[in-house]
Amino acid sequence: MKVSDLDAAIAATRALGHPARMRTAAMLHTGELCLCQITEVLGLAPSTVSLHIKELKRAGLVSERKEGRWVFFSLADDEHAKRWLETALAAVEGDPQLTDDLDMITELRMLPVADLCSLGFESAKAKLATTS
């Protein structure tokens, strides 16, 4: 059954109507991220972040890819999703919270995902510093 445009619009606005989900969409706008990277930035429990991502996926805004033990998320490549995401992200461009999130994402991208997910941010950062 095809979802109506109205139903799709309601799902998109509902999905983007929570700060954690909007922040997640902004993070994913920079590229694919692992669940542990998103969790680290949001400072929420992995189960809570998973529920937020599930809502974004349900609305067709986010897709996932599995690689071994890790699950990576990215923004959907669908035209409907792109329109909603571009509009929403343009509306919050320059927000200080999102700027801080993107700074942290830049730092997290320098860490091996396996270390970040298994050791945590500070330990993964320390491990990288000792091997560099």
pLDDT at 3: 64
Here the CATH number for the domain that contains residue 40 is 1.10.10.10
DSSP 8-state secondary structure symbol assigned to residue 31: S
Q: Has residue 99 got a pLDDT over 60?
A: yes
pLDDT 10s digits, 34-84: 999 999 999 999 999 999 999 999 999 999 999 998 899 999 998 989 999
Q: Are 108 and 32 in contact (CB under 8 A)?
A: no
The whole-angstrom separation of Cα 31 and Cα 37 is 12
Q: Identify the top-confidence range among 98-102, 123-127, 128-132.
A: 98-102
Nearest to 115, CA basis, from 40, 29, 64: 40
Structural domain containing residue 72: 5-131
Put the strands of the sheet holding 62-67 in their side by side order. Answer: 33-34, 70-75, 62-67
Give how many domains the chain has, as a whole number: 1
